[in-house]
Structure 1
């Protein structure tokens, strides 16, 4: 655990230095959502921002109404970490799950230091570990210890249930980091609901072995989640086309979704130095938040 904390602190220092030298604004803005929470509605007055009009209330025919907001006193940051067996791809100690755990732990530690209430949900096709949002360094060490000691009981994936579980837990708007390889189906509807209600950040993990398999002829492939072994012709053009299209389509659909629904998106390959990517993500988030507040 000491080695893990030492490594995370080194990464955190790199992130903070890069942010301080490359961006205006404080580090706490990384974990800042809109900063506002819906309070009530009132009659429209001359000069009100038309973007705050509540069209559902207005449509009832009793006049034009706008939403009013109150400033959030405490920011909640929630991490959803996919711990299913499909994450166990990559070289020794540099699998997707290792990268996901490091990113989760690094950002959670940083968020706690910025006085955010931080929570964690580790999910396969069931709830593997849940830590309710809390503050303070003692809470962060409990969270970090849980991440690295966790041994999932299920090997399957159900992102839809993970998203629905989180939506049931969080009653107020939060910054949510969803960290997964997104190798699953039928979760987009729930993801859209999460994007509407919360400030969502999607971190997609991948390994080059998933799209760049060498020509080895007929080989056995072990399917992590089902435990089955399949024999495939890795040199077959049909197999390689299916492999490339499946990975490419999955990534393309997720990127398109994020772009259309104002969701922050980051792609990280196992073995990557992900700190520069995090810095670019934070820079973009700060710029977007500044534009919204004008």
Structure 2
């Protein structure tokens, strides 16, 4: 994607995100993710109904009338976007590639984060760590994050979620929110998922495409595994073969679902075939209720 095309795509995403990240969505995000503690705000005069345990006795003694200490929730958070840009992400049969969907969702999450004064970082990975941008604040930084996801061309084609999560655990010292955006075809990552979920608030964003689970009957088709380069000639007109394909895809999906549940990782299901805002809002609302 050349620079002019990237700039155009960024502007399109910005326009779309500005409409999506309304006050309701932003409010749900803020309520879904709480800060790590409380911090001192001010000392003020005591009013009837205030908790007497908050009285600052030193200030009260100096002034001859009661004062209390007031604390507020420490809101500032760190959001890490771990984006899978392996070869399987550059597929899409319903209007957009999975990688483009990952970029849009990352943009929305990033804009929601900076709107709430949170920091945003980025990790692009394949079967290796491709690029890391440390967390920062600000709109310019978020635009850089989006540009990197859209423009980056990975050196490798495979997927290794374990390596990506191990890297995040090494460089991110404080508890953070980690959004892991991937199609999750790599199931050899259970141990790292468990470790990361214990250290951080880990959320899996599972990106899928309808053709990955069901094939149309269109005759002989040569399929290429983008990650391994292996080619297979497949007779899609054979209903038995289509059934086997569908069962294998379902088995893969169920295996990953079990791994995520057993690792205590929340997940958001999105598809290239349907709008992604509703699944995100459902997740925020669910989290908001849990926090309460």
Asked if these proteins are the same fold (TM beyond 0.5), I'd say yes
Is 1:104 matched up with 2:106? yes
Question: Separation in 1 of the partners of 2:93 and 2:106?
Answer: 20
Is 1:82 matched up with 2:116? no
Q: 1:109 to 1:5 in 2, by over 3 A?
A: farther
1:202-241 to structure 2, matched below 5 A, reads: 202-241=204-243
CA contact (8 A) 1:174 1:199 kept: yes
1:4-47 Cα shifts (integer Å, max 9, x gaps):
23433433433424437xxxx664234x256249xxxxxxxxxx
Question: Separation in 2 of the partners of 1:12 and 1:260?
Answer: 36
Structure 2 segments unaligned to the other structure (5+ residues): 1-6, 39-72
Find the counterpart in structure 2 of residue 285 from structure 1: 287
Is 1:11 matched up with 2:13? no
Is 1:249 matched up with 2:251? yes
Question: Separation in 2 of the partners of 1:141 and 1:185?
Answer: 32
C-alpha deviation, 1:281, in angstroms = 0.9
Structure 1 segments unaligned to the other structure (5+ residues): 38-70
CA contact (8 A) 2:178 2:201 kept: yes
Find the counterpart in structure 2 of residue 117 from structure 1: 119
Question: Separation in 2 of the partners of 1:36 and 1:236?
Answer: 59
Question: Separation in 1 of the partners of 2:87 and 2:165?
Answer: 18
Question: SS state of the match for residue 22, structure 2?
Answer: helix
Q: Report the more deviating stretch, 4-13 or 142-151.
A: 4-13
Question: Separation in 2 of the partners of 1:12 and 1:274?
Answer: 15
Q: 1:226 to 1:255 in 2, by over 3 A?
A: closer
TM-score (norm 2): 0.78
Question: Separation in 2 of the partners of 1:167 and 1:35?
Answer: 18
1:163-174 to structure 2, matched below 5 A, reads: 163-174=165-176
Report the RMSD for the aligned CA atoms in angstroms: 2.4
Q: Report the more deviating stretch, 255-264 or 214-223.
A: 255-264
Find the counterpart in structure 1 of residue 36 from structure 2: 35
Question: Separation in 2 of the partners of 1:227 and 1:269?
Answer: 24
CA contact (8 A) 1:264 1:285 kept: no
Runs of 4+ in 1 over 6 A off after TM superposition: none
Question: SS state of the match for residue 76, structure 2?
Answer: coil
Q: Decide which of 148, 159, 162 is 2:161's aligned counterpart.
A: 159
Q: 1:15 to 1:91 in 2, by over 3 A?
A: same
Question: SS state of the match for residue 174, structure 2?
Answer: coil
Find the counterpart in structure 2 of residue 136 from structure 1: 138
Question: Separation in 2 of the partners of 1:73 and 1:35?
Answer: 8
1:73-126 Cα shifts (integer Å, max 9, x gaps):
631100100000011211386011111111112211221221111100010111
Question: SS state of the match for residue 220, structure 1?
Answer: strand
CA contact (8 A) 2:114 2:139 kept: yes
Question: Separation in 2 of the partners of 1:216 and 1:109?
Answer: 42
Find the counterpart in structure 1 of residue 97 from structure 2: 95
TM-score (norm 1): 0.77
CA contact (8 A) 1:8 1:102 kept: no
